[in-house]
Amino acid sequence: MTLACPTARAFLAQPQVPPLAPLDFAVVGLNHQTAPVEVRERAAVRTGDERVILEHLSHHAREVMLLATCNRTEVYLAGIEGDPVSAFEGAWGHALEGHLYVHRGDAAVQHLYRVAAGLDSLVIGETQIQGQVKRAWQAARDQHLSGTLLNKVAQGALAAGKRVRFETGLSDRVVSVSSAAVELAQAALGDLTRRTALILGAGETAELTLTHLRAAGVQDVIVVNRTAERARQLAEKLGGRACAAEYLHEVLPEADVVIASSAAPHYVLHGEGVRPALEGRPGRAMFLIDISVPRILDPDIADVPGAHLYNLDDLTAIVSRNLQSRRAALPHAEAIIREAACDLSRWYLTREAQLRRQPRRELALASD
């Protein structure tokens, strides 16, 4: 049995795609489209928990990959035993069914391919997700949870994502969550050159945020981190002042903008900490933008006079405006994804046909 799959150009001319072969493959998860940040953080993967979660999920499927970012938590399963939703909810101990999506077979393959290409991201075309998918696949391999099918699907997803980026221009001039946060600060405060910004965190997202703050003209940036050495390294690399987390409340009154991008497992700043900081700078508002999941800025900060609190879900308007200039690239990008998924289906059909013929060949040899 074969499946004729047209090229990407043919897909553009004829959007109707032949049905793909059913695969023993599924994805269950939630993202920014199905769940607000207060729900997404309930399914967040905290540092060090990946191995435990993968171990739990391995009782429900032979092959498992866990993909967790600030805007999504997804589990990919092959060789499934039981209900994927039950497996997902059991891993986090929460009833999340009203916010979960489940895709099976070819739909699950296309979903991962779209994710890896940045087509399912809050920021369409963003490039960080490619590395996140690669690391998720590597984590599955490290725990011997990635076999023939998951390896093939993950490889195909990364290749499709690379094609989309190089062939469509979708990632040209794309914003990131970090740059969108800085743009939000500019919309609120105007020129940032004379403003002081404070970054909570010193990881990859914090580094991107500092880079975008510098590009926006911010001269004074304070990097606050639980590990003072990490804060110092980032501040020295890109320019800024380092501060250990225990001294946050001493430097907070200086900040016009606070951008939180830490992986802390709890709130690190509350309304009771922001209130005295604002009292020490009368007439000057403070804009706090939390791009962490789970959030690390307590929602009660919004009740403090002079404090303006935002989270990831508030960046949607900025992201949508940025997409307008790149929207023409979307049809070609989607066509590449469908073509790549069709290639996977053809591989699967060929492999299954070979496996079905193999026992007959072995039987014939045994009877000679």
Residue numbers in the known binding site for substrate are 69-72, 121, 126-128, 132
Cα 11–Cα 14–Cα 20 angle in degrees, nearest 5: 60
Give yes or no for a contact between 324 and 293, defined as CB atoms under 8 angstroms apart.
Answer: no
Asked whether the beta carbons of 6 and 14 are under 8 A apart, the reply is yes
342 catalytic? Reply is no
Please report, to the nearest 10 degrees, the dihedral formed by the alpha carbons of residues 46, 48, 54, 55 taken in order.
-130
Contact 73, 45 (CB under 8 A): yes
- d(Cα 287, Cα 278) in Å, to the nearest integer? 11
The residue type found at 263 is A
Pairwise CA distance, residues 126 & 171, whole Å: 6
CA distances from 276 to 255, 257, 298, 300, 336 (A): 13, 16, 15, 14, 54
Question: Count of alpha carbons within 13 Å of 92, Cβ hemisphere only?
Answer: 25
Neighbours of 281 (CB within 10 A): 15
Q: What is the dihedral of CA 337, 323, 118, 199, to 10 degrees?
A: 180
Q: Helix H segments across the chain?
A: 8-13, 37-40, 50-57, 84-92, 106-116, 128-142, 148-168, 177-189, 204-215, 228-238, 248-251, 271-279, 316-324, 330-367
Strand, coil or helix: what is 78? strand
CB 265 within 8 A of CB 289: no
Please list the active-site residues. 70
